[in-house]
Structure 1
């Protein structure tokens, strides 16, 4: 039997137990997973406040790791000074097909007028030999558009040492061909970074999740996709916030800009305006 790609985290039982324990009014912020040590988005204590620039992220541990949502929020704050910005991560780590029947995800989507929704955690085979339906992702794109928000598909980066960027990206492009959505070329940015700078540590020790620099590069590609802007126009974030030096941030911004020039991130959502 083929399994979903390991980018989707298997420890859903612990998460469901945590959700049951917390209920809808007792939790907020994050919880730390006992096995991986990664911070898990906890159930919100209340609906997130509306912001002028609001982005919802629906994903799993690849969205959570290394404060990727917070990094994206920091980039958007730099781009939109004087405006309120909120990047909100949906609770729990779930596949997109599981989120269709998750009342918390559905409630969060309809809780406010989001400007954009980032969709990550499409199931796919680690070997490439098995096909998983993309129907749920297509339904999510439709649901996001009904909310008059921009749908953005988040193809995950390749595992360390495995040539799978094109396969992962094309799977998400196939979704966008059926239901138009932006597709961030995140894997291509990682490939370019490691081609130019093999010493960069983009992967965590498991060879699957991101290290801080990898999450920052992913956030830069999401930023470029959302705004249509070059990452080169950004000033570096404060390095103490995420443990990434200003020199490394500059390096990653150049890679993000060059990747966006090679693989336009908005080519599959040409009728949608930027944030």
Structure 2
């Protein structure tokens, strides 16, 4: 399932977006309304998203990065490719949130208009943020990367930023990282053939940004991730570009650890 929707004849039809969605220096401490996981405690991370989370296994990449950071970590992705509004009525997703002592919950798949002619409500995403904080976990918003060939990173980020401002949550600047790499290294393939989902390199770039945003730790040089097929030199380049994007960090990152 894609994260884009197209209005046609009064019906909302799922449509192809472009690759992804459009997605360190320690930021300021988050406000008291946002739970801050203990830095040395084991991490338990739940991902609620659609195919953009599942393709090339972004959760597993984030798990390995947390492990490299020196802590025990458990990661689980909710089943099925659902939008956040659909997950509110999905019993398995609701039960999964309540089933364990999650420290972080990554939220991806806010509905977006493929033509940018329609505005979809964000109340359901805000409700997920509220429920996550009620469980004393850190909500991490995962804005998708811009589609291949599209100048929409700012629009995608703005939708998720509005969610974070309405219901404080950590906001990972994934779209900005993709724009940076597309500009500096256009030969590096970030997209699958459909121009919407990620390539392995694109998924890794998103994982770098998500890890640093959720953990609050600087994205330092490290060994190549074994769970990624991307070559070591490209992994190092992507890590550096993610770090640069995080250092330039938008103001909404104040809600991250």
How does the TM-score come out when normalised to structure 2?
A: 0.83
**Residue in structure 2 matched with residue 165 of structure 1 by the alignment:** 153
Q: Which has the higher contact order (CA 8 A, sep 6+)?
A: 2
**Residue in structure 2 matched with residue 255 of structure 1 by the alignment:** 241
Matched residue SS, 1:231 = coil
2:200 and 2:129 map into 1 onto residues whose CA distance is: 29
Unpaired runs of at least 5, structure 2: 1-6, 19-40
8 Å CA contact 1:63–1:120 kept in 2: the answer is yes
Matched residue SS, 1:91 = coil
Matched residue SS, 1:158 = coil
**Residue in structure 2 matched with residue 144 of structure 1 by the alignment:** 132
- Judged with a 3 Å threshold, the aligned counterparts in structure 2 of structure 1 residues 142 and 7 are, in CA distance, closer, same or farther, namely farther
1:5 and 1:75 map into 2 onto residues whose CA distance is: 32
Superposed CA offset, 1:68-119 (max 9, x none): 1111111111002xx4211110011111011001110011001111010000
Q: How many angstroms does 1:7 deviate by?
A: 4.8
1:98 and 1:243 map into 2 onto residues whose CA distance is: 32
8 Å CA contact 1:5–1:123 kept in 2: the answer is no
8 Å CA contact 1:96–1:121 kept in 2: the answer is yes
Q: How many angstroms does 1:5 deviate by?
A: 5.8
Matched residue SS, 2:66 = helix
- Judged with a 3 Å threshold, the aligned counterparts in structure 2 of structure 1 residues 266 and 75 are, in CA distance, closer, same or farther, namely farther
2:101 and 2:75 map into 1 onto residues whose CA distance is: 13
Superposed CA offset, 1:37-96 (max 9, x none): xxxxxxxxxxxxxx921100000000000121111111111002xx42111100111110
Unpaired runs of at least 5, structure 1: 9-50
Larger radius of gyration: 1
**Residue in structure 2 matched with residue 133 of structure 1 by the alignment:** 121
1:265 and 1:189 map into 2 onto residues whose CA distance is: 15
Superposed CA offset, 1:3-51 (max 9, x none): 456359xxxxxxxxxxxxxxxxxxxxxxxxxxxxxxxxxxxxxxxxxx9
8 Å CA contact 2:221–2:236 kept in 1: the answer is no
- Judged with a 3 Å threshold, the aligned counterparts in structure 2 of structure 1 residues 5 and 119 are, in CA distance, closer, same or farther, namely farther
Alignment of 1:37-116 (within 5 A): 52-80=42-70, 83-116=71-104
Give the total of aligned pairs: 225
8 Å CA contact 1:185–1:265 kept in 2: the answer is no
Q: How many angstroms does 1:136 deviate by?
A: 0.2
